[in-house]
Structure 1
Amino acid sequence: MLSFKGMRFPADVILVCIRWYAAYPLSYRHLEEIMDERGVSVDHSTLNRWAIRFLPLIEKLSRKHKRKVGTSWRMDETYIKVKGVWKYLYRAVDKEGKTVDFLLTAQRDMAAAKRFFEKAMRENGVPEKIAMDKSGANKASIDEINGALAVPITVRQVKYLNNIVEQDHRTVKRVTRPMLGFKSFRAAANVLAGVELTHMIRKGQFVIDGAASMSFADQFHALAGHIRPM
């Protein structure tokens, strides 16, 4: 369970603010206005600190509740602007569209791709197949990983197979576009963890007691270890 000890605002206010920010195309100033209309005066800079501090912690807590993904992955990278410079968000989904994993990197090269694959496999196991684009760096990273495996991963560099992950990028981009770029790499990585988390909740990727009768908001609160007030 997250600790909100020492915070000036109650946990329920903090959680609803960061959930809205990660789930919907809102800026911090939009959220500041929305909360003010509800009688809660909170500055956009405070909302920013909450998101950066708590979203990655909730995403980390959620991993122990995540359902297993399939063994056929589709991997691709998309672009995220940080301090006016494009960075790279590596992502993978399985053939059913469930999120496998994600990683924000400063570079788009073999080392970055290998870090992503190692993280994804550490959390989700080794897949049987991976579909990707024609990137030589991505293929080289898997070739190196395959060198240490008894049963190598089958790689398919066929563009149409990656349509599912390219479409999945759109949800992430739709939420991040109003954010108008991130001021630091840390802020970007932490907020993106929350965006990916809320996307996975919508895709039903978590095992939570009573999830069938729980709203999206209730599941977010449950993953944070807090009961949402009625």
Structure 2
Amino acid sequence: MDSAPPSSYQGHRYPVEIISHYVWLYHRFPLSFREVEELMLQRGVLVSHETIRRWCAKFGQTYANGLRHRRLWPGDTWHLDEAFIKINGEPHYLWRVVDADGDVLDILVQNRRDTAAARCFFRRLLKKTRTVPRVVVTDRLRSYGAAHREVMPSVEHRSHKGLNNRAENSHQPTRQRERAMKGFRSTGGAQRFLAAFSGISPRFRPRRHLMTAPEYRAEMTVRFAIWDQVTGAAAVPTAA
């Protein structure tokens, strides 16, 4: 079952539909915990920013995992890219892979950008997705080629900066959040947040420019229904 187990909500003062909505707001929009608190206060719901932080830490990854499990099998073309981020002023790299539909398959924060780091990411991908792509597309970073030959030599590797716009564009929402959060404080904290964020936020960012307004609303209705199923809010009886 993809929904969060009912036992995980035991002991919480607020019902699942409130908790899941706070977690959705924080991961979907570039808002701080205090801004989410203020936004919901205007609607008459009083929850402290510290409680919101705990809810996001406890449920964010669970919800993200549920959404990933609801996806169809990932496409056979994977786009990989790495982006520079700062954690407490120190340089780190955010490795990310998306499929041809733009769905984020995985992210990994590392402090290196060499062959060992690329190899680690490749192995993590194969283990997590339990599938092998037909094609991997990367930029011209030589570490990708060396890791590819070692970990997945049978997979076609296309190395060209112009082919990898899909992966590069997927970093933009992360940049927005990084600015809103005024940077990350620890490697572990960055990995935990970005893993949940990458599993939740893209699910509510369909390619709207390819849809008519009715198509967009219909698509979002489906995605909200899936969110309710994954979080367990769909099982909550509605008051008459």
TM-score category of the 2 structures, normalised to the smaller one: 0.7 to 0.9
Quote the residue 1:219 is aligned against: 226
List per-residue Cα deviations over 1:88-147 (Å, max 9, x = no partner).
221112234333322222332323222222222231511121111121222221121135
- Sequence identity (%): 30
**Residue in structure 2 matching 1:110, options 111, 115, 137:** 115
Give me the whole-angstrom Cα distance separating, in 2, the residues matched to 1:177 and 1:220: 26
Which residue of 196, 199, 210 corresponds with 1:197?
199
Q: String of CA shifts for 1:151-207, please: whole Å, max 9, x gaps.
A: x11212111001121112213322342121223333322221232122342366xxx
Is the 2:23–2:52 contact (alpha carbons within 8 Å) kept by the matching residues of 1?
A: yes
Query: Which of 179, 184, 187 in structure 2 is aligned with 1:185?
Result: 187
Report the residue type matching 1:139 in the other structure.
G
Which AA in structure 2 matches 1:17?
Y
Unaligned residue ranges in structure 2 (runs of 5+): 207-217
Whichever residue aligns with residue 192 of structure 1, its letter is: L
User: Matched residues in 2 for 1:29 and 1:86: separation?
Assistant: 28
Q: 3-state DSSP class of the match of 2:171?
A: helix
Aligned equivalents of 2:146 and 2:21: distance in 1?
42
Q: Residue in 1 aligned with 2:124?
A: 119
* Equivalent pairs, count: 220
After superposition, the CA RMSD in angstroms is: 2.5
Check conservation: 1:76, 1:166, Cα contact below 8 A: yes
For the pair 1:129 / 2:131, whether they are aligned, the reply is: no
Q: Which runs of 5+ in 1 are unaligned?
A: 205-210
Choose which of 16, 41, 45 in structure 1 pairs with 2:46.
41
Change (3 A) 1:124 1:80: farther
The residue type paired with residue 117 of structure 1 is F
| Partner Cα distance (1:221, 1:176) in 2 | 27
95-104 or 66-75, larger mean C-alpha shift? 95-104
Partner residue in 2 for 1:58:
63
SS at match of 2:170: helix
3-state SS in 2 of match to 1:35: helix
2 CA distance for matches of 1:88 and 1:138? 14
- Residue 29 of structure 1 aligns to which amino acid in structure 2? R
The answer for the alignment partner of 2:157 in structure 1 is 155
Correspondence for 2:213? none
CA pair 159-136 structure 1, distance change in 2 beyond 3 A:
same
- Separation (CA, whole Å) in 2 of partners of 1:46 and 1:124: 36
Change (3 A) 1:195 1:133: same
Residues 188, 218 of structure 1: alpha-carbon distance in 2 compared, 3 angstrom cutoff: farther
Decide whether aligned partners of structure 1 residues 53 and 108 sit closer, same or farther in structure 2, where only a CA change above 3 A counts: farther
Partner of 1:140: 146
Q: Distance in 1 between matches of 2:223 and 2:177?
A: 16
Residue 74, structure 1, aligned to residue 76, structure 2: no
Q: Counterpart in 2 of 1:207?
A: none
The CA distance in 1 between the partners of 2:202 and 2:131, in whole Å, is 18
Alignment of 1:23 with 2:18, yes or no, is no
